[in-house]
Every structure is written in C-alpha cells, then in structure tokens.
Amino acid sequence: MKQKDPPISVALKQAMKSIRMRMLRQFATAFGVLLGIAFYASVRTSLALSESDPEAVEGAVKLRWLVFLSLLMCLVGITNAMLMSVTERYKEIGTFKCLGATNSFIVKVFFLEALLIGVLSSTAGAFLGFGIMVAVRVFTDGASSLSALGSGSLPILLSAIGIGTLITILAAILPAIQAARMPAAAALRVEV
C-alpha cells in the first residue's frame, strides 16, 4: 500500500504555524531577502532614472555591473538564510517521516513557507528600494525628473518581486528535497 498525501491545506497550515511560531528566525530570513531585493530594486531604479540623463550615460555601464552584483548579493544572502533555516530542521523532517509523511509532503511544507516569506519580503524590499531612489530623486531634482522613469517602474518592481521569490523558493526547496530523501534515521541524527 502506498501512502497518499493529505490535502494541501494540511501542508499550508503546517507552513503557517511554522512561520508564526518561529517569528524571530523567519523575520531574520525575511529581512535578508528584503535587503537583497531592496538593493537590486534601488540599483535598477537609479539606472532607469539616469538613462535619459546625458551626464549619467557614462555611469550607466558601471550601474549595469551594479545590477549584476546586486543580484549576486541577493542570491548569496537569501540562499544562506534559507539553507540555515532548513538545516536547523533536519530533526523535524525526520520526525515527520516517522509519522508517515511522504517526501512530497515535506517538500510542499517548505515550498509554501518559502513562497509566503518570499512574496512578502520581496514585495516589501522592491517597494523599499524603488521608493528610496524615487524619493532621493524628487528631493534633488524635483518631481519632474521622474518622467525619465516612464513606464519603467512596473518591470522593475515585478522583476524584483519575481527574482526574490524565485531565489527564496529555490534556496529552501533544494535542501528540503535533499533532507526529505535522506533515510529517516539519518535526518533524526542530525544535531545542529
């Protein structure tokens, strides 16, 4: 006989309990995501704002590099935060398996957790980075200078949220899959 997964609501409830009960830990993770994405969004925004500015064209190449670097920082920061939060929970994963959880149930819990944290913190980060750059610009050059942004703000925000969420999910789910596939005894033995 094969074990079937319980309804998705069981995994969702577990993910939400886990976020609620580990508020401090999850906040640290979310903050890492937020900062990375805020950095990325701010660099993209200031690049977009200066694109039509002839004096800044020279700096644009440098800024493109900065976008790349900000993405890299984002990746490292988020991966590190999520990896830690999964590794801390190997024992819990082992216990879940003893109680009859399938591998896919465990992965689902981590996926939903990362999805919730990823969407919330990347959205906050995207608006924060975007907002700061826009505010700085308004203060220095006046509101009219924002026209350079044109319709460019939506792609910046969406890409920041998308990238943040994607990296958060990948960083959580890869170690979770690995942990779920371990023999239960090995997962239970892990002490952090």
Partner 1 sequence: MEASRALESELIVRTRGVKKTYHLGDEVVHALRGVSLDVQRGEYVSIMGPSGSGKSTLFNMVGGLDKPTEGSVYINEVDIAQLSPPELAYLRNRTIGYIFQTFNLIQVRTALENVTLPMLFAGLSADEADEKGFLLLESVGLGERLHHRPTELSGGQQQRVAIARALANDPAIILADEPTGNLDLKTGKEIIDLLRKLNEEMGVTIISATHDLKMLDVSDRIVYVRDGEIAKIETRAELDLQIGEVEGIGEEKW
**Closest to partner 1 by CB, 36 or 94:** 94
Does the protein bind partner 1 through residue 155 (CB under 8 A)? no
**Chain center to CA of 14:** 20
Closer by beta carbon to partner 1, 112 or else 126: 112
Based on CB atoms, which residue is closest to partner 1, 88 or 141? 88
Min dist. Cβ of residue 44 to partner 1 (A): 37
Binding mask 77-116 for partner 1 (x = CB under 8 A): --------------xx-xxxxxxxxxx-x-----------
- Residues 168 and 30: their CA atoms lie apart, in Å, by 9
Q: Is 2 left (phi over 0), alpha (psi -120 to 50) or beta?
A: beta
Segment near partner 1 (CB under 8 A); pick from 11-19, 51-59, 124-132, 145-153: 11-19
Query: Which of 1, 148, 166, 18 is CA-nearest to residue 96?
Result: 18
Residue 22 contacts partner 1 per CB under 8 A: yes
Chain residues 36-75 in contact with partner 1, contact rule CB under 8 A: none
Whether the Cβ atoms of residue 176 and residue 90 lie closer than 8 Å to each other:
no
> Cα angle vertex 119, ends 100, 160, to 5°?
140
Whose tokens are 């800044």? That residue is 56
Q: How far apart are CA 59 and CA 55, in angstroms?
A: 8
Q: Does 177 bind partner 1 (CB under 8 A)?
A: no
Work out which of 28, 68, 141, 183 binds partner 1, going by CB under 8 A: 183
Number of residues that bind partner 1 (CB under 8 A): 30
Q: What is the DSSP letter of 191?
A: -
**Residue 144 to residue 140: CA distance in whole angstroms:** 11
In the bound complex, what is the minimum distance in angstroms from residue 6's beta carbon to partner 1?
A: 5
Binding site for partner 1 (CB under 8 A): 1-4, 6, 10, 14, 17-18, 20-22, 91-92, 94-103, 105, 183-186, 188
